[in-house]
Amino acid sequence: MKILLLVRHAKSSWDDPAASDRQRPLNRRGMHDAPIMGRRLAERGWRPELMLSSPATRAITTARIIAEQVGYPVNDIIVLEQLYAAPADELLKVVRGLDDGLQEVMVFAHNPGLSDLADMLTDGAVKQMPTCGVVAVRLDIKKWANIANAKPVRIDFDYPKAKA
């Protein structure tokens, strides 16, 4: 069994027009929502063995906040350039290349690629991921390389405005 947790970064700020897209920080709502989602993940027993994040400030900040809540070492988060504004096929390529010894992996990235990947992996059950939304897909596979052809065994979908 493999578990892939897809996490869209929390709400970001557009207040600084000089900031590049990569540099945009979380806004007040994002800073509020990320710890809430991290606590929900921890309460549900999610314990990723690996966390991967886009290098964008809003994504890595979300990853660090959630890592603290689920007990994952913040310094062990791996930042991958390929995750920045990646389309679904690029995200899938990263997942397919994961070490098969890993059972539970969390990926922090961006829309529309992340929602497109969630849509594909959940057979259309999750069409759109809101900011700080989390989709956990359990798959009965032994190799990450087989993820695209796997049918989900279980899908969990949560986001800040959902009733906890």
For 47-100, the pLDDT digits (tens) are: 999 999 999 999 999 999 999 999 999 999 999 999 999 999 999 999 999 999
Please indicate, yes or no, if residue 127 is contained in any of the structural domains: yes
| pTM assigned to the model | 0.96
Show the DSSP H helices in 44-158 as ranges: 57-70, 88-96, 113-121
77: left (phi over 0), alpha (psi -120 to 50) or beta: beta
Please indicate, yes or no, if residue 60 is contained in any of the structural domains: yes
What average pLDDT does this structure show over 33-42?
A: 98
Question: Into how many domains does the chain fold?
Answer: 1
Domain that holds residue 84: 2-12+35-158
Contact between 135 and 122 (Cβ < 8 Å): yes
Rg (CA), the chain: 15
Please indicate, yes or no, if residue 144 is contained in any of the structural domains: yes
Query: Pairing mode, if any, of strands 134-139 and 2-8?
Result: antiparallel
CATH number reported for the structural domain that contains residue 7 in this entry: 3.40.50.1240
Of 1, 9, 3, which is closest to residue 114 (Cα–Cα)? Answer: 9
Please indicate, yes or no, if residue 19 is contained in any of the structural domains: no
